[in-house]
Amino acid sequence: MNKKNISSKSRTDFDRLAKMQDSDIDFSDNPEVTPDKFAKAIVRKGLKPVPKKSQITLRIDSDVLKWFKDTGKGYHTRINMLLRAYMEQSLNSGRSKEF
């Protein structure tokens, strides 16, 4: 098999790029990363592994389930997140066995 180098020499003007100021950069095709978006970012490097999920049958009031479904795709994950937040708050406050 004959290996050819298919990449051509870069046509990037590195001298021009090095002289550019931040204000010269066009970010119109990049959405701004707001503090809210940044806070919702998920970084897993160096953290504990995500616990495995278990499939269960759970009875939820119809109006509650409808509300979650109306929030769109991923409502199972949002329900899990709320239950996790409640669990962690209970554990941190020492009320883990109270309801």
Give tens-digit pLDDT for 50-75: 788 899 999 999 999 999 999 999 99
Euclidean distance between CA atoms 82 and 60, whole angstroms: 14
In a domain, residue 6? The reply is no
In a domain, residue 5? The reply is no
Local structure of residue 51 (DSSP, 8 states): P
Range of the domain at 32: 14-93
Give tens-digit pLDDT for 26-59: 888 988 888 888 887 777 677 777 788 899 999 9
Burial of 35 (0-12, 13-18, 19+ CB in 10 A): exposed
In a domain, residue 99? The reply is no
- Count of domains in the chain? 1
Local structure of residue 24 (DSSP, 8 states): G
**What pTM did the predictor assign?**
0.47
Selection from 81, 86, 15, 13 nearest residue 53 by Cα: 81
In a domain, residue 3? The reply is no
In a domain, residue 2? The reply is no
